[in-house]
Amino acid sequence: MNYVIICEGGPTLGMGHIVRMQRLASTRKQHVTFVVRTYALPADSHFGTQWLRNQGYHVLETTFDQCQRVVQQLQPSRIIIDTYNWQGYSLHQLAQIAPITIFDDDATIEAESYSGNVATYVSRLSKKSRERIQLIQAGCFVVPKQVEDVRVFSGLSYCLLADEYKHVPDLSEKKHLLVTFGSTDPHNMTAVVAQWLAVTNIPTTIVIGPAFAKDVQWYTQRYGTDTLQFISAVPTLYHELAKVTHVLCLASTTVYEVFATQRCLAAFVTVDNQRGIARALQHKQLAPVLGSYNQLNQGKFYTQLDRFWKSGIKQITKQLNPSLANERCWKIIEQ
């Protein structure tokens, strides 16, 4: 079997797609070729491709329009997709090449319906194309309804985490807060929150993602205190999570990493496609949502932060088993 994984990512797009697929590919490394789409600027995808190449993966870069041609030349037995929105026409063409498995992180989940953009596109395809497509909603809290003629696999049991998350690290002896807005932060909420935290005495570490990696020294000089420090982007949050008790992060796949390590969680919404996870967190009372990029309020933030800092841990980690999730996904892909 040979697999083509299509994904995209970089300092202005975020690395969630690439990191998630690298975790999946790690057990089939010799049989996987990554095709990384240039979604915006070439530099955006270069950040992700270099990260993959450094780990020994075969990686090809292609433009959005040329992706199908590149995949056709590779003649894969299976195609795996983890990207931003796909037009129905593109999926139809790829479905003629090989069966497709789509990992959808759009998380536009309402009640018990599945209204994600990928599902919308898939529903417009021919019946023959739909029958060759599987959808995996990796990490959602609500089981979606079946999309016509498409097999949907949903839930935390398909959440792709690195194997190190099998081992829950001991909680820090002293309370400590970790803040991360991922590898991209289009509204620079990092700067806003850093400014507000600088006048508190809460021991805090803020991770500066690749989009602002060159600004770590600037952040340190401007906002750093005895209790507030800044560090550059890290390949995995696991080791940082091992040092803390509380985490403020964006409502994305980082949420599942925090749950896996059983830390106290509060979330932000930095881009619109995180609202699905944010709603699920609030609806199921799993974690507070402290605001979104267009509604941050300093006074409200301090009130919510104080309540969060005194909070306990929500236990939902039994469903998060990284090694099982990885093999569970491969069984679906290879069936």
- Looking up tokens 């570490």, which residue turns up? 205
Same domain, 263 and 314: yes
Question: Tell me, what's the pLDDT at 40?
Answer: 57
Tokens of 283: 């609806």
Question: Tell me, what's the pLDDT at 276?
Answer: 79
DSSP bridge partners of 110: 113
The CATH number that applies at residue 175 is 3.40.50.2000
* Lateral strand order in the sheet of 78-82: 58-63, 32-38, 3-7, 78-82, 100-103, 133-138, 151-155
Q: Strand 113-114 to strand 109-110: parallel, antiparallel, or no bridges (unpaired)? A: antiparallel
Question: Tell me, what's the pLDDT at 108?
Answer: 47
Count up the domains in the chain and report the number.
2
Q: Terminal CA-to-CA distance of the chain, rounded, Å?
A: 12
Same domain, 253 and 308: yes
**CA dist., res. 306 & res. 188, Å (int):** 23
**CA dist., res. 110 & res. 116, Å (int):** 10
pLDDT in tens, the chain (335 residues): 899 999 987 766 778 888 899 999 999 999 999 999 876 566 566 778 888 999 999 999 888 888 899 999 999 999 999 987 666 668 889 999 999 999 987 554 443 344 456 777 787 888 999 889 998 888 877 655 566 778 888 888 898 998 888 888 888 788 999 999 887 788 888 999 999 999 999 999 999 877 676 788 999 999 999 999 999 877 778 989 999 999 999 988 889 899 888 899 999 998 877 887 888 888 888 889 998 888 888 999 999 999 999 987 766 666 788 888 999 999 999 98
Same domain, 115 and 252: no
Same domain, 9 and 119: yes
Question: Tell me, what's the pLDDT at 146?
Answer: 60
- Looking up tokens 């975790």, which residue turns up? 23
Same domain, 297 and 196: yes
Same domain, 146 and 210: no
Same domain, 208 and 240: yes
Nearest alpha carbon to residue 212 among 238, 235, 182, 241:
182
- Looking up tokens 């301090």, which residue turns up? 302
Same domain, 269 and 127: no
| DSSP E strand boundaries for 202-251 | 204-208, 228-232, 246-250
The CATH number that applies at residue 41 is 3.40.50.11190
Same domain, 120 and 173: no
Q: Strand 151-155 to strand 177-180: parallel, antiparallel, or no bridges (unpaired)? A: unpaired
Same domain, 144 and 175: no
* Residue span of the structural domain in which 139 resides: 3-161+320-334
Q: Is the CB of residue 6 less than 8 Å from the CB of residue 32?
A: no
Same domain, 91 and 135: yes
Q: How many CA atoms lie within 13 A of 129 on its CB side?
A: 17
Give just the sign of the alpha carbon dihedral 52, 54, 60, 62.
positive
Same domain, 246 and 218: yes
Phi, psi of 149 (to 5 degrees): 65, 15
The pTM assigned to this predicted structure is: 0.87
Question: Tell me, what's the pLDDT at 114?
Answer: 45
Q: How many CA atoms lie within 13 A of 134 on its CB side?
A: 18
Nearest alpha carbon to residue 244 among 225, 265, 226, 224:
265
